[in-house]
A and B are shown apart, each in its own frame.
Chain A
Amino acid sequence: MSIEDIMSELKDIQEHPEVLLEVDSEMESVLKEIIKVERRYLYGLDSTSVPKRRNAIQELLIEKLKNRGS
């Protein structure tokens, strides 16, 4: 790789810094959505019951799998 190539890469990064942002994989995004559900139930918004929380997670997974298939 020449210096010109490196300079050109750096220029690209300067113009489009978003390329440096870590992009979540599909699974990571799903995991974050599951954590959201956990937060809602564990940290007080709805602490009614464990089965209810697990049902919410199960539904989320089924929904995600449906979207994956379509």
Chain B
Amino acid sequence: MLLQKLKLVNFRQFYSDATVIEFSTDIDKNITLIHGENGIGKTTILNAILWCLYEKLTHDFERPDELICLQSLKEGNKSCRVELNFEYEGKEYLAQRSLQNSSQSLFKLFEVSNSNYSDVPNPKAFINSILPDDMAEYFFFHGEGISNINAKKSGEKFKRAIRDILGFRLAETAVEDLKEVNRKWTKELANLQNLSKEESQLIGKKKNIEEKITILKVKQVHLSDDKEINQNDLNKVLDDLRNCSNIDAKTLQKEIDILTSRGNRVESIINQLNVDKQGLIKKYGWIIFGQKLAHEGLGFIDEQSLKAKLPAPYDETLVKDLIEDGKCICGRELNPGTDEYSKVISLVEKADNAVIRSKLMKSRSAGTNMKGRFSDFLSGLEKIEKNLTKQDTDKRDISHELVEKQETLDSIAGEVDEVKKLEQSKYNCMSALSVINQKIGSNKTSLGILNSELQTTDLKLKKFGAEDIRISRLTDHQSYAQELIELCGVKLDQYEKDSKLTIAKKVNETLQEFSRKDFKVKVGDDFSFYLVREDGHRVAKSKGENLLLNLSFVSALIEFAQMRSGASGDFLVSGTTAPFVIDAPFGELDNTYKRATAEFLPKRSRQLIFLLSSSHWMGTVDETINKKIGSEYVLVSSKRSIQNGKPDDKLMVDGKEYIQSLYNQEKDATFIEKVR
């Protein structure tokens, strides 16, 4: 999707139909730059595009009900309209949304060919097939939104962003719908007539368990949110401690950080070793019981062979041939009724044949194998145990050292007010986190118990289903839906994990190329993206670094969506190539990071539309993007009020001066002036 032209007709401060912006579609000069001081209408342009395509506005767009231009309302005109021309897969389209008297807006979409306009049926579906509305907010981006990504519960926001760009919405709604359908079937079960007392009790129990599970899951989500908020608060306090004015406290906190991080590493090694140990027992555990059997079995086979109770090493075919020929291998005649004949005949009973031989060999080999595996099991277990002992000792040492450092820090806190306050906050956050973690753990246990109770109840119900076809039908339906819910969950988790890593890799590439410090991005289990130094410690981000991280994240999302534009879309919504419209992106960046952002954003998107105030644009950004600008405009605010010492907001672009605030005018409105 490439934006070609935007026309605003009496939309907010844009009076009449004079506002037309032609966007640059040139691949080399892919930037359209729109200058505008605060409050003149930059955010309105971004919102006009969102409103036209999706009837949506950014969350902080003030007075969203007043879309019709006040000046035009005064003149009796009670309608507004936004028109957007765009190109998609070689065809040109015109999207048009209009609003009359603040009633429901009307959306139309036309395919434009040789100045002929033909209606596109189901315009909403068509627009969503190009750029789904849940992905749109990342392409039509408000600077404020970038800061919001880093707000509390950042992990949740990063996760949501990745899910939206991956097009999870359909699959997520499918899971919710399947759960709802299942609940409906439980109700149907409960309403069945002529059930036995036991059946009714089981169905009632099932319903009850399902309700409890739903409540617990909601609680779990809230607890996770609380955990993230408290973790963020704790990180902030720790950052403050690491940067406090007391050098001893600062050093101690850094040492505590190192020890904590070592402790976490040891803890994760211990966890892994325990998992390995369980795996080993799972794999070879049966051998412990099989060992005695193998030992005795092999002994038995050998002993019985010796005693000739098991097939002797005579081949059945050979013995039969001897009898048929009537002659023994020693040359004696074998006539029926003779002693020789009876002896040879008795050999057939003990003679070896192919089937017995193979069975014996298998038994021998299984027994020998079991013996061998047992020693593998023992040596593997011994290795793990040794390592566990070593890690446990390390853990004890680290924890001992941590207590010592913490006590020293506490003693400083007793003397220095700043440290005392920070330490108090640290303890508060840590104790709140510990309470939350306990609650999460206990909820998890309860959920496990409830799920297993549900399974047992379902199994019992299925037994009744064998006699009552109504129960059987409904429980079968539920199992089927549950299987689909689980499959969907597994698939979504896998996609999410893979994408998280790809996006983190892209963010890292950007940071490595453009950031002045040597740090990397890491993604936590909770999807929070954070910066770490080479030694693995978290970096206390400045506002600028935060913004840089978030901008690289959003641009990585856009690039990722472009990469996925060829995806089939039969499970996840396929990706898309779409313009990146970004309002006020350079807020808290210093010049170096401004330059970096101005360099990487045009590289990451096919079409880039910047909405900038002079403070964002002048100097570094101008120098960096100038050669990439294909189209440029200045917003001019016309005011009826008298200037009375207020600024003209003059702007010099390409040697020409533009006055952005005109006073003593006939109308209050914003107009647009083309620069190039």
The answer to whether B181 and A65 have CB atoms under 8 Å apart is: no
Interface residues of A in 28-70 (CB under 8 A from B): 28, 30-32, 34-36, 38-39, 42-45, 47, 53-54, 57-58, 61-62, 64-65
User: Which of A35, A58, A65 is within 8 Å of B170, CB to CB?
Assistant: A35
Q: How large is the interface on A (under 10, 10 to 19, 20 to 34, 35 or more residues)?
A: 20 to 34
The answer to whether A45 and B570 have CB atoms under 8 Å apart is: no
The answer to whether A62 and B487 have CB atoms under 8 Å apart is: no
| A residues in contact (CB < 8 Å) with B | 27-28, 30-32, 34-36, 38-39, 42-45, 47, 53-54, 57-58, 61-62, 64-65
Q: Name the A residues within 8 Å of B181 (CB-CB).
A: 54, 57-58, 61
Given contacts A31-B488, A35-B570, A58-B181, contact A43 B129 (CB under 8 A): yes
> Across chains A and B, which 4 residue pairs bring their CB atoms closest together, nearest first?
A44-B124, A44-B125, A43-B128, A38-B170
Interface residues of B in 168-218 (CB under 8 A from A): 169-171, 173-174, 177-178, 180-181, 184
| Complex-state Cα separation, A45 to B127, whole angstroms | 11
The answer to whether A61 and B481 have CB atoms under 8 Å apart is: yes
Tell me the minimal C-beta distance from B345 to chain A in angstroms: 47
Q: Name the A residues within 8 Å of B128 (CB-CB).
A: 43-44
Q: Name the A residues within 8 Å of B276 (CB-CB).
A: none
Most buried by A among B173, B180, B480, B573: B173
Q: Which residue in chain B gives the minimum CB-CB distance to A43? A: B128
The answer to whether B476 and A65 have CB atoms under 8 Å apart is: yes
Given contacts A45-B122, A58-B184, contact A34 B174 (CB under 8 A): yes
Q: Name the B residues within 8 Å of A53 (CB-CB).
A: 177
| Complex-state Cα separation, A34 to B128, whole angstroms | 18
| Complex-state Cα separation, A34 to B480, whole angstroms | 13
| Complex-state Cα separation, A32 to B174, whole angstroms | 10
User: Which of B173, B480, B571 is within 8 Å of A42, CB to CB?
Assistant: B173
The answer to whether A54 and B180 have CB atoms under 8 Å apart is: yes
User: Which of B124, B171, B177, B178 is within 8 Å of A43, CB to CB?
Assistant: B124
Say yes or no: is B477 at the interface (Cβ < 8 Å to chain A).
yes
A-B contact pairs, 19 of them (CB 8 A): A27-B484, A31-B174, A31-B487, A34-B177, A34-B178, A35-B171, A38-B170, A38-B171, A38-B177, A39-B573, A42-B170, A43-B132, A44-B122, A54-B180, A54-B184, A57-B177, A57-B178, A62-B477, A64-B480
The answer to whether A38 and B173 have CB atoms under 8 Å apart is: yes
| Complex-state Cα separation, A54 to B185, whole angstroms | 12
Say yes or no: is B340 at the interface (Cβ < 8 Å to chain A).
no
Q: Name the B residues within 8 Å of A43 (CB-CB).
A: 124-125, 128-129, 132
The answer to whether A30 and B484 have CB atoms under 8 Å apart is: yes
Tell me the minimal C-beta distance from A47 to chain B in angstroms: 8
Tell me the minimal C-beta distance from B477 to chain A in angstroms: 6
Q: Name the A residues within 8 Å of B173 (CB-CB).
A: 38, 42
Q: Name the B residues within 8 Å of A31 (CB-CB).
A: 174, 484, 487-488, 491, 571
Tell me the minimal C-beta distance from B274 to chain A in angstroms: 34
User: Which of B124, B126, B180, B570 is within 8 Å of A32, CB to CB?
Assistant: B570
Given contacts A31-B484, A61-B181, A64-B480, 9 further A-B contacts (CB under 8 A): A27-B484, A31-B488, A38-B174, A39-B573, A42-B170, A43-B125, A44-B122, A44-B123, A57-B181
Q: Name the A residues within 8 Å of B477 (CB-CB).
A: 61-62, 65
| Complex-state Cα separation, A57 to B185, whole angstroms | 13
Tell me the minimal C-beta distance from B567 to chain A in angstroms: 13
Tell me the minimal C-beta distance from B666 to chain A in angstroms: 42
The answer to whether B125 and A45 have CB atoms under 8 Å apart is: yes
Most buried by A among B128, B483, B484: B484
User: Which of A27, A44, A58 is within 8 Å of B487, CB to CB?
Assistant: A27
| Complex-state Cα separation, A27 to B571, whole angstroms | 12
Q: Name the A residues within 8 Å of B125 (CB-CB).
A: 43-45
- When each residue 99-131 of chain B gets 1 if its CB lies under 8 Å from chain A and 0 otherwise, what string results? 000000000000000000000001111111100
Interface residues of B in 456-514 (CB under 8 A from A): 476-477, 480-481, 483-484, 487-488, 491
Q: Which residue in chain B gives the minimum CB-CB distance to A34? A: B174
| Complex-state Cα separation, A58 to B122, whole angstroms | 25
Q: Name the A residues within 8 Å of B476 (CB-CB).
A: 65
The answer to whether A32 and B483 have CB atoms under 8 Å apart is: no
Q: Name the B residues within 8 Å of A57 (CB-CB).
A: 174, 177-178, 181
| Complex-state Cα separation, A25 to B123, whole angstroms | 34
Given contacts A44-B122, A54-B177, A65-B476, contact A35 B571 (CB under 8 A): yes
| Complex-state Cα separation, A57 to B480, whole angstroms | 13
Q: Name the B residues within 8 Å of A36 (CB-CB).
A: 570
| Complex-state Cα separation, A36 to B569, whole angstroms | 10
| Complex-state Cα separation, A62 to B484, whole angstroms | 13
| Complex-state Cα separation, A47 to B55, whole angstroms | 15
| Complex-state Cα separation, A54 to B491, whole angstroms | 21
| Complex-state Cα separation, A30 to B169, whole angstroms | 17
Interface residues of B in 420-479 (CB under 8 A from A): 476-477
The answer to whether A42 and B169 have CB atoms under 8 Å apart is: yes
| Complex-state Cα separation, A44 to B488, whole angstroms | 23
| Complex-state Cα separation, A46 to B428, whole angstroms | 51
